[in-house]
A = this chain, B = another copy of it.
Amino acid sequence: MDYVKNPKEIEDKSMQIIYDYVKDLGLTDDEVRVVSRTVHASGDVEYAQLVRMSPGAVQKGIEALENGANIYTDVEMVRTGISKPALKIRGNEVHCLIKDENVAKMAKELGVTRSIAAMRTFGKQLEGQIVAIGNAPTALYEVLRLALEEGIKPALIIGIPVGFVGAAESKDYLMEVSPVPYITVKGNKGGSPIAASVCNALLYTDVKRNDMLFVEGKESK
């Protein structure tokens, strides 16, 4: 049972291996970090071919976080997956309302999913912030409705629902109509750890932009 036990060493080796799959995609260094994190979180090199980013979206996300933007998630698993140590160092917060009692009540009254009710409850708070969706297509549709119909514009939408019913369509719709920068994954794949990994890539990016921040203990997520 001889195996690598040092988290920093494991991470460095992983990123070296992953680099071969992302280096020839014509991405900026910051974009490489984002795509690498999705591959790292899934153990699936196909993500290198599936991640879609609107031009400048990664840069926009990094800047928003540096300027104090918070992250709004659809489900607790995305919130849990975002590195606590990195948030602490950077000073950003993560919000999630899926378990809120008023949201549950609102969902029941309106006959919509709790994900929709949660995003609608955030409402104007989402202006200029980061939205990270890792589970519910319905949450993604609602964020787009808020942006298109009510003019509430996040700085960045990380829209990565997963699944076989509606997820791929919701992501195609995001790419088609989003009036704000987005990061997404083409097709059925995605999910909470992928959405969280994108948030972490943005959070880990050193303010000087010359290296990835290694956060001691971030393996705890």
Contacts and interface: CB of A to CB of B under 8 A. Distances in A.
Interface of A: 1, 3-5, 7, 10, 13-14, 17-18, 40-44, 75-77, 80-81, 98-99, 104, 111-116, 135-138, 141, 144-145, 162-167, 169-170, 173, 187-193, 196, 217, 219-221
B193 A193 contact: yes
B75 A43 contact: no
A42 B189 contact: yes
B219 A167 contact: no
Contacts of A18: 164
Given A3-B169, A4-B166, A77 B193 contact: yes
Chain A interface helix/strand/loop/mixed? helix
Contact of A81 (B13, B112, B188, B192): B192
The 5 closest A-B pairs by CB, nearest first: A43-B188, A43-B162, A43-B189, A80-B80, A17-B164
Contact of A112 (B5, B113, B173, B188): B5
Given A187-B43, A193-B191, A165 B220 contact: no
Contacts of A111: 5
B115 A219 contact: yes
A144 to B, nearest CB: 8
B3 A137 contact: yes
A112 B144 CA distance: 45
29 contacts: A1-B144, A3-B137, A3-B141, A3-B166, A4-B165, A10-B163, A13-B164, A17-B165, A18-B164, A40-B163, A40-B164, A42-B189, A42-B191, A43-B162, A43-B163, A43-B164, A43-B190, A44-B44, A75-B219, A76-B220, A77-B77, A77-B81, A77-B193, A81-B192, A113-B219, A114-B217, A114-B219, A115-B219, A135-B219
